[in-house]
Amino acid sequence: MAQTERLKAKAARAKPLPVEERRAAIAKATVPLLIAHGRDVTTKQIAEASGVAEGTLFRVFADKTEIIDAAVEQFLDPEPFRDALRAIDPSLPLELKVRLLLDRFQDRFSGIFGVFASLGMQPRKPVVPDASVMIAIFDELLTPELERLRVAPIDVVGFVRLVAFSSAMPHLGASAHLDTARLAHLIVHGIARDETSDPTNER
């Protein structure tokens, strides 16, 4: 019986990952630990979160610093965030779409603030974002409402990013008492041609 269970457990184990996939999995598992512990995170914690033996870490990374750098690089990769924006259904009502955009931008900015606050805001090489990619995402999302908008989609990008950035800042967001539903209402009824806002919400 015990032999059967051991065979089942062995069969259930995941196949060894290629080095790059293993590095990516470890880096991803490390990000929440950085937010919680900063550079004081231990390799034991990283190994446990990654589901690997501690020695496995040093078969794919030189040291803990390299693991942290890889985790930050992966976290800052904009493509997963862009994919989350692309996943929003363009057929949804405008206000709901803006709320979902704000939710995703807030999560993104909050995570960035958390990681760099924990790591002591280490200097990094400046990155110039490709604005055309974000504009294309907003263009597709807002196509059903183009006739209603008083501004171009590129301006909506600016409004959403500005509001999300400021409301995600720890010392501002909590004191403003504005959730993304109210912020979305504010943005939408500032860009839509029709005046259908509920006056009871504007307080």
Q: Which two tokens stand for residue 77?
A: 């990769």
Taking only the tens place, the pLDDT of each residue in 26-50 is 999 999 998 888 889 999 999 999 9
Same domain (yes/no): 155, 82: yes
More confident residue, 144 or 126: 144
**What is the CATH classification number for the domain harbouring 58?**
1.10.357.10
Same domain (yes/no): 69, 94: no
What is the b/e burial string over 126-149, where b = at least 16 CB atoms within 10 angstroms of the residue's CB? Answer: eeeeeeeebeebbbebbeebeeeb
Report pLDDT for 203.
41
Q: Is the pLDDT of residue 190 over 80?
A: no
Same domain (yes/no): 26, 124: no
SS3 of 136, please? Answer: helix
Same domain (yes/no): 168, 83: yes
Q: Is the pLDDT of residue 197 over 70?
A: no
* Residue 114 · residue 71 · CB < 8 Å: no
Q: Which two tokens stand for residue 19?
A: 């080095």
Q: Is the pLDDT of residue 4 over 80?
A: no
Distance CA 59, CA 44 (A): 14
Residue type at position 97: K
Distance CA 126, CA 189 (A): 35
Among candidate residues 76, 69, 73, the one with its CA nearest the CA of residue 41: 69
Same domain (yes/no): 59, 106: no
Same domain (yes/no): 116, 145: yes
Report pLDDT for 189.
87
CB neighbours of 16 closer than 8 A, spacing ≥ 6? 22
Same domain (yes/no): 195, 112: yes
Any idea what the Cα angle at residue 104 is, between residues 96 and 173, rounded to 5°?
95
> What's the rounded mean pLDDT across residues 84-109?
96
Number of neighbouring beta carbons within 10 Å of residue 102 = 23
Same domain (yes/no): 90, 66: no
Of the residues 35, 57, 74, the one at which a domain ends: 74
Same domain (yes/no): 115, 195: yes
- Can you give the residue range of the structural domain that contains 179? 78-201
Same domain (yes/no): 86, 19: no
* Residue 105 · residue 161 · CB < 8 Å: yes
pTM: 0.75
CA-CA-CA-CA torsion for 86, 91, 94, 99, nearest 10 degrees?
Answer: -40
CA-CA-CA-CA torsion for 66, 72, 74, 78, nearest 10 degrees?
Answer: -150
Same domain (yes/no): 59, 92: no
Number of domains present in the structure of the chain: 2
Residue type at position 187: I
Report pLDDT for 168.
86
> What's the rounded mean pLDDT across residues 8-18?
55
Report pLDDT for 93.
96
